[in-house]
Chain A
Amino acid sequence: NAGVMQNPRHLVRRRGQEARLRCSPMKGHSHVYWYRQLPEEGLKFMVYLQKENIIDESGMPKERFSAEFPKEGPSILRIQQVVRGDSAAYFCASSPYRPRDEQFFGPGTRLTVL
């Protein structure tokens, strides 16, 4: 059973471009969480999704950020018009049955905005 997969592992964008980060949860997992880790800081929750639904987006910046978890395919975190402050490691985690189950993390996508 493959673990949580994220791609790309490294992404470089220029200011104003769009970044798309993908997360494939573990097989059978229907809960996906996205977290962001700024340099030298701890992880901060961004958004929690189940298939086709956003359950909690209280940690998402109000503008430029969006997330989806379609019925088929990976979860996508989309950042429009990136700025230097978006440079960070973005991790997704999945859990199987209930939101209070153990979360399994992917290796992260490291976004660098030039």
Chain B
Amino acid sequence: DAKTTQPNSMESNEEEPVHLPCNHSTISGTDYIHWYRQLPSQGPEYVIHGLTSNVNNRMASLAIAEDRKSSTLILHRATLRDAAVYYCIRRGSQGNLIFGKGTKLSVKP
């Protein structure tokens, strides 16, 4: 079973960029890498996903290593509202999301 590994926690200062790493060394060649985040007392929300190329959307950027063994979620300017648990996720054969423990991001004003 392919696993994802993330640091338990990270801290950032407000208005600064944040780089959240994820290792997924055993992911298959056709599996997308997904990122979701969960704000306190809320359900998870989709952030971004990608396969091989770097991806950008209004929330974040996703940088995927050339060998696909790791990726980095980039928040360009962290705000207090970005404090959440960030999950780097692979999907099961039926599309279900397989969550790990995620990285708890704290943002300091």
Q: Is B7 an interface residue (CB 8 A)?
A: no
Q: From DSSP, what is the main secondary structure of chain B's interface residues?
A: loop
Give A74-114 interface residues, CB cut-off 8 Å to B. Answer: 91, 93, 95, 98-108
Q: Could you tell me if B97 and A108 are in contact, using CB atoms closer than 8 angstroms?
A: no
Chain B residues near A91 (CB-CB < 8 A):
43-44
Q: Is A52 an interface residue (CB 8 A)?
A: no
Q: Is A31 an interface residue (CB 8 A)?
A: yes
Contact (A48, B96) CB under 8 Å given A42-B87, A42-B101: yes
**CB within 8 Å of A: which residues of B?**
32, 38, 42-46, 49, 87, 91-92, 94-102
**CB within 8 Å of B: which residues of A?**
4, 31, 33, 35, 41-45, 48, 55-56, 59, 91, 93, 95, 98-108
